[in-house]
Amino acid sequence: MSGLERVLAAVRRTGTRVPAVPQIFGHAARTGGVPLRRYLTDPAALARCQVAAMEHYATDAVFALFDASVETEALGSRLRFPGDSYPIIERYILERASDVARLPLPDPRRAGRMPVALEAVRLLRCEAGDRALVAGCVLGPMTLACQLMGAEPALFAAIDETAAFEQVLDFSVELALCFGTAQLEAGAHLCIVFEPSASPAVVPPAFFRGLLKPRLRRLCEGLKRQGALASWLHIAGPVEPILPYYRDCAVEIANLDYCVDPVRARAAAPDLCLAGNIRPMAFLDSGPEVITEACAQVLREAGQGFLLSSGCEIPLDARPECVHALVRAVRP
């Protein structure tokens, strides 16, 4: 059984071996000896590092995932790459929510680093084929709104200028569908919808239900129509209060952060494939024995339909022996 087949079996809840899908993004640059900025701007470097990490750690997935600024950069926000770190937005493209009416949808083949992302997907699929899941990524509407305006102005706009803010959310869905479709055409098996700003730590569950749920449904269903093999929603933090809405969002794989109890999550969303939930910083500040114990516990508790993963991104400078420990938990 290939990594891709293991993941899809977990989604269908028919698998016998839990897939190992640690969220290795920029950490692959570290293990590959490539400066992060090059990894984030050179599709060949990203693809080479991802495949090397997959083979080294024997994981079941590769990720064409750059940073949370690809979309906003493509629309005209100005970035800065500080040292060997993820980029920082220096100037947001939207000063006011209502300005979104002037923003054209970008062409993924030309705008900013979107072509870099598409080429990375193509190279990854060429290299990994169907041996492993090839995951692309789009930002969810709330997260993209925050990346277009800045988090604080976006959150205030959501309350003070709700109608204009909803236009930003709708524009963000259209952009995600456009960029996601291009990634699927380039060879991604699915696109993770990365939506940390929709976390109940940021906005109340009623906000999620009213403003975000219908848009996430439109996005997830749209990506499935374009050929995604599954829909994967990635929201970090304490998601338990919104998990019951995921089914209405057409979500099939739900990320679980370290602070979410897998037993309660399973009760809240019995039909979902869950992915998580090892504490990300444990890969940095703990030994492999801590990871082994945490994996054993979550594997006991999560039930059928589960991807063993970190609760969020594996830290850039994670201890490799800790990543090995996660994989060994399902591949003795």
Partner 1 sequence: MSSASHADSPLLEPLISMLMDGDTEAALLEARRVRAAGAAGPTEVVRALEAAMDRMSCKCTAEQFNLLEIMLAGRTVTAVAHDTFPEGSVPSTRGTVVIATPQGDVHDLGKNLTRMVLATKGFRVVDCGKDCPAPVMIQAVAREDAFALLVSGLISPVVPLVRQLRGLLRERGLSAVRLLAGGAALQQCSAEALNVDFVAGDAFECARYLEGLKADRP
Q: Considering only CA atoms, which of 330, 260, 274, 280 is closest in space to residue 302?
A: 274
Nearer to partner 1, 11 or 298 (CB): 298
Which CB, 66 or 179, lies closer to partner 1? 66
What token pair was written down for 255?
Answer: 């990320």
68 or 190: whose CB is closer to partner 1? 68
Nearer Cβ to partner 1 (33/152): 152
In the complex, minimum distance from the CB of residue 80 to partner 1, in angstroms, rounded to a whole number: 9
CB of 91 to partner 1, least distance (A): 12
- DSSP strand pairing (253-256 vs 232-234): parallel
List residues near partner 1 by CB under 8 A.
Answer: 82-83, 85-86, 88-89, 151-152, 155-156, 158-159, 200-204, 207, 236-238, 258, 279-282, 284-285, 313, 315-317
Q: How far is the CB of 285 from partner 1 (least distance, A)?
A: 4
> Is residue 296 helix, strand or coil?
helix
Say if residues 168 and 217 touch (Cβ distance below 8 Å).
no
Total residue count of the chain as it appears in this document: 332
Residue 74 phi/psi, 5-degree rounding, is -65, -25
If the CB atoms of residues 1 and 88 are measured against partner 1, the closer one turns out to be 88
Count the Cβ atoms, other than its own, within 10 Å of residue 133: 28
**Among all chains, which residue has been given the structure tokens 């997959």?**
54
Query: Quick one: 86 or 306, whose CB is closer to partner 1?
Result: 86
Minimal distance, residue 317 CB to partner 1, in Å: 8
Q: Output 10 or 260, the one with its CB closest to partner 1.
A: 260
Structure tokens at 45: 């470097």
User: How far apart (Å, rounded) are the C-alpha atoms in residues 267 and 174?
Assistant: 33
Least distance CB 5 / partner 1 (angstroms):
32
Q: Are 71 and 175 in contact (CB under 8 A)?
A: yes
Those residues with Cβ within 8 angstroms of residue 332's Cβ, 6 or more apart along the chain or in another chain: none
Which stretches of 161-259 are DSSP H helices? Answer: 162-186, 205-207, 213-225
Look at the alpha carbons of 69, 191, 127, 108 in this order and tell me if their dihedral is positive or negative. negative
Q: How far is the CB of 152 from partner 1 (least distance, A)?
A: 6
Specify the residue, 67 or 252, whose C-beta has the smaller distance to partner 1.
67
- Closest by CA to 176, choosing from 147, 139, 146, 149, is 139
Contact in structure between 140 and 233 (CB atoms under 8 Å)? yes
CB of 151 to partner 1, least distance (A): 5
Kindly state the smallest distance separating residue 83's Cβ from partner 1, in Å.
Answer: 7
Other C-beta atoms closer than 10 Å to the C-beta of 160 total 11
